[in-house]
Amino acid sequence: MKDGTATLEVPHGKTFKLKPLQFNGPCNFPSVHFQLEGNIIAPRNTKAWKGHDSERWIEFLNIDGLIIDGGGQINARGSVWWEFCRENSCSRPTALFIHNCNKFLLNGTRHLNSARNHISINSCTNSKVYNVTTIAPEDSPNTDGIDISQSSYILIQDSTFATGDDCIAINGGTSYINITGVTCGPGHGISVGSLGKKQSYEVVEHVRVYNCSFTGTTNGMRIKTWEGGSGYARNISFQHIILTNTSNPIIIDQKYSDLTNEGKEQTSAVQISGVTYRDVKGTSQSEIAIILDCGGVTGCTDIFMDSINITATSSGSKVRASCNNVHGFTTFTSPPVPCLS
């Protein structure tokens, strides 16, 4: 213990193999410091999870003032799960799960090859993620860099995500999320959603993605909602964005299909409004560089685009925009968006 802080150290140059592990508060210290200078690795055999929650590997629960930092590495060795779950219907563990830890700091760590999400942030407030790197193969399933849910006032800054799924996924119950200085690729981009699955009510608001880059991603800036859901996604901005060889650079998909309602006309939708794209530049692998596909009765409203310049990756090719049931306006946008004035 130092200065009222309880410290657990993983020394530099040392490697420790951990079975599923849970750190559960509340704690009697104002702060808990997990100083990761060395390496942590997961078991190679899925049987190590027998008797444990197969959806988690390392959990921090109910610890306010948590600090996880250092130049160390968390290697979940998830390939055994990717192979096993291709042949068997099974849940896979998130590598690092942080729940109800207010004012936590995650700084300087490296995260490799999670079986599923690398980092999940749930029910946390006033917390920061700095200088974090996550890496997994481009074809690894559902290996999101960071998933955020039921949380507010979260800052993610100066970090790199190269995974098989979303670099950052912003799920229901989140607000005041600030993402800045992030490098994404490969992966599926930065996503709001999906929201409204199985006719659920979900909300996301006050999201700011600023000064970020996407390289070789299958999506860039994405908002996705299920048909038949309800709630809202609003006050979302993407500004100062660089795209390099990105498929679907800008996409709003309000028509995710829920198989339980397939064939039924859906009038309800998660309402999407107040979305700003400003100073977005770069290249698209896809012919359709901007997709705004909105449903429900009102569609998407108050969509604003300014200083957009997206060209084709291939010399001599052209890109275009596609839109449906979208309301708003554009200035200095290329390709032009036909349903926005």
Query: Hunting for tokens 């800008």 — which residue is that?
Result: 250
Distance from C-alpha of 172 to C-alpha of 62, rounded to nearest angstrom: 20
Task: Please tell me if the domain spanning 1-125 has the same topology as the one spanning 166-341.
Answer: yes
> What was the pLDDT predicted at 1?
53
306 is an active site residue? no
267-323 pLDDT, tens digit per residue, is 678 999 999 999 999 999 999 999 999 987 889 999 999 999 999 999 889 999 999
Amino acid at 192: V
Residues 6+ apart with CB under 8 A from 49: 20, 93
Radius of gyration of the chain (CA): 21
Q: How far is CA 244 from CA 88, 102, 185, 226, 232, in A?
A: 37, 36, 10, 28, 30
| Topology annotation, domain 1-125 | Pectate Lyase C-like (2.160.20)
Q: What is the pLDDT along the chain (341 residues), one digit of tens a residue?
A: 556 678 999 999 999 999 999 999 998 888 899 999 999 999 999 999 998 989 999 999 999 999 999 999 999 999 999 988 877 778 999 999 999 999 999 999 999 999 999 999 999 999 999 999 999 999 999 999 999 999 999 999 999 999 999 999 999 999 999 999 999 999 999 999 999 999 999 999 999 999 999 999 999 999 999 999 999 999 999 999 999 999 999 999 998 764 455 545 556 789 999 999 999 999 999 999 999 999 878 899 999 999 999 999 998 899 999 999 999 999 999 999 998 86
What residue type is assigned to position 35 of the chain?
Q
Which residue among the candidates 99, 111, 118, 188 is catalytic per the annotation?
Answer: 188
Domain boundaries, the chain: 1-125, 166-341
Helices in the chain by DSSP H: which ranges?
Answer: 79-87
Cα distances (Å, whole numbers) of residue 280 to 181, 213, 238, 240: 14, 10, 8, 6
Is 2.160.20.10 the CATH number for 166-341? yes
pLDDT for the residue numbered 257? 65
CA–CA distance, 192 with 36 (Å, rounded to integer): 30
Alpha-carbon gap, residue 285 to 166, rounded angstroms: 18
Sheet holding 56-61, edge to edge: 21-24, 56-61, 94-99, 119-122, 146-149, 168-170, 190-195, 221-226, 250-256, 288-293, 320-324
Catalytic residue among 147, 165, 166, 253: 165
Does the active-site annotation cover 99?
Answer: no
User: Is the CB of residue 340 less than 8 Å from the CB of residue 329?
Assistant: yes
Write down the pTM of the prediction: 0.96
- Whole-number Å distance between alpha carbons of 334 and 311: 8
Query: CA neighbours within 13 Å on the CB side: how many for 269?
Result: 26
Give the N- to C-terminal CA distance of the chain in Å, as an integer. 61
